[in-house]
Amino acid sequence: MKHLLSTRDLSAASALRLLDVAEEMSAVGEREIKKLPALRGRTVVNLFFEDSTRTRISFEAAAKRLSADVINFVAKGSSVSKGESLKDTAQTLEAMSADAVVIRHPASGAPARLAASDWIDAAVINAGDGTHEHPTQALLDAFTLRRHWARIGGNASPGTTLAGMKVLIVGDVLHSRVARSNVWLLTTLGAEVLLAGPPTLMPVGVGAWPCTVFYDLDVAIAQRPDAVMMLRLQAERMNAAFFPSTREYSRRWGFDDGRLALLDIMGLDDTVIMHPGPMNRGLEISAAAADSPRSTILAQVRNGVSVRMAALYLLLSGDTHDDDQHDDEPQ
Ligand code: CP
């Protein structure tokens, strides 16, 4: 694997390998080991054309824990604002001997364009492109779910899948790269995926996705999911005319205090509540739900560092465990 561009083309073997390596990486930082020398002398560039808190910081922490040098490039304040193209920006990074480029871009397909080009030799990691994919977010979500599943089932051995698990993804699926990456990855790992959201925020063609779609959140919750993943309502990607009433959205699609209590009433003691962040508290998720013992939101952030360490390590160490995501094929 030379690049990590999507989960759609990631095999179960590759995904499980990454999750197993992430388990090993989680020891770094959690225990006395603060750093591994694995990527000493290598350079990781964080190339962010869109805002980020969690992804950018955790890639930086991950690279530093592997002893790599890190260059942070944020489009705001760079020569991109003077009209510099992705090609010229990439070639500038190449001249600085980047070994890996972690790219977030508003255009779906920008990371694949970079990976397929001859502008750079570096490994390319998609840190979120438009409404297309956010593969490391899905991998950290799967890592979090696998740990939760292991706690319930008592099976934490390497290679364990998510077979038997039911995951409900709720909200603005239309604009969500997190939803797309999770649908592909979770189903590859054997989980059953349910989607719930308003018809206006479901993508055309969602009926062909490997999941069941609900247009009533309470009917979806009645399916007794093991995890409920709330999505951020992405106002910045919506025409104001299509932005739903926040009160109506919260009532119909928010994980509010009533739905939090419903999990207890239904005896769903082991059901967790997830959110990739950043959250609109009081809109798609209530403060009580976000801060409840069921919430995995901070665990997801913590696990993101281990998962990104695993991704950087596997790509830069030349691990050739799998044959998917060929370096010459746009994903
Ligand atoms: N989940 C996520 O991608 O968060 P950031 O936008 O803060 O990176």
Q: Is the pLDDT of residue 326 over 50?
A: no
Q: Which atom of ligand 1 is nearest to the CA of 134?
A: 3
Q: Does residue 66 share a domain with residue 55?
A: yes
pLDDT above 70 covers a percentage of the chain that reads 93
Question: Can you give the CATH number for the domain in which 46 is found?
Answer: 3.40.50.1370
Whose structure tokens read 């193209």?
85
The protein residue with its alpha carbon nearest to ligand 1, atom 3, reads 55
Q: Is the pLDDT of residue 274 over 70?
A: yes
Question: Tens of pLDDT along 93-150?
Answer: 889 899 999 999 999 999 999 999 999 999 999 999 999 999 999 999 999 999 999 9
Question: Tens of pLDDT along 204-229?
Answer: 999 999 999 999 999 999 999 999 99
- Choosing from 49, 51, 53 the residue with most ligand 1 atoms within 8 A of its CB, the one to mutate for a pocket test is 53
- For the chain, the domain total comes to 2
Given the cut 0.95, state whether the ipTM is greater than it: yes
Query: Is 43 annotated among the ligand-binding residues?
Result: no
Q: Is the pLDDT of residue 271 over 90?
A: yes
pLDDT at position 301, please?
97
pLDDT at position 249, please?
92
* Ligand 1 neighbours (beta carbon < 6 A): 52-55, 128, 137, 276-278
Q: Are residues 150 and 162 in contact, defined by beta-carbon separation less than 8 angstroms? A: no
Query: Is 82 annotated among the ligand-binding residues?
Result: yes
Cβ neighbours for 305, distance < 8 A, ≥ 6 positions apart? 29, 58, 61, 62, 65
pLDDT at position 236, please?
80
Q: Does residue 263 share a domain with residue 172?
A: yes
Q: What is the pTM of this model?
A: 0.94
Q: Is the pLDDT of residue 83 over 90?
A: no
pLDDT at position 4, please?
98
Helix (H, G, I), strand (E, B), or coil: what is residue 146? helix
pLDDT tier for residue 30 given thresholds of 50, 70 and 90: low
**Position 111 in a domain:** yes
- Separation between Cα atoms, residue 107 and residue 109, nearest integer Å: 6
Side chain identity at residue 129, one-letter code:
D
Please give the mean pLDDT across all residues of the chain: 92
Residue 212 gets the label, from left (phi > 0), alpha (psi -120 to 50) or beta, of beta
Question: Tens of pLDDT along 123-137?
Answer: 999 999 999 999 999
Q: Does residue 268 share a domain with residue 161?
A: yes
Cβ neighbours for 329, distance < 8 A, ≥ 6 positions apart? 116
**Position 327 in a domain:** no
pLDDT at position 77, please?
75
Q: Provide the CA 215 distance to its chain's centre, in angstroms.
A: 24
Q: Does residue 162 share a domain with residue 288?
A: yes
**Position 101 in a domain:** yes
Q: Does residue 117 share a domain with residue 99?
A: yes
Q: Does residue 249 share a domain with residue 223?
A: yes
Whose structure tokens read 């998720």?
285
Domain enclosing residue 181, as ranges:
136-300
- Separation between Cα atoms, residue 286 and residue 289, nearest integer Å: 5
Q: Does residue 296 share a domain with residue 162?
A: yes
Tokens coding 8? 């759609």
Per-position DSSP letters for 236-295, written without gaps between them: GGS-GGGPPPHHHHHHHH-B-HHHHHHHHHTT-TT-EEE--S---BTTTB-HHHHTSTTB
- Separation between Cα atoms, residue 168 and residue 220, nearest integer Å: 7
**Position 322 in a domain:** no
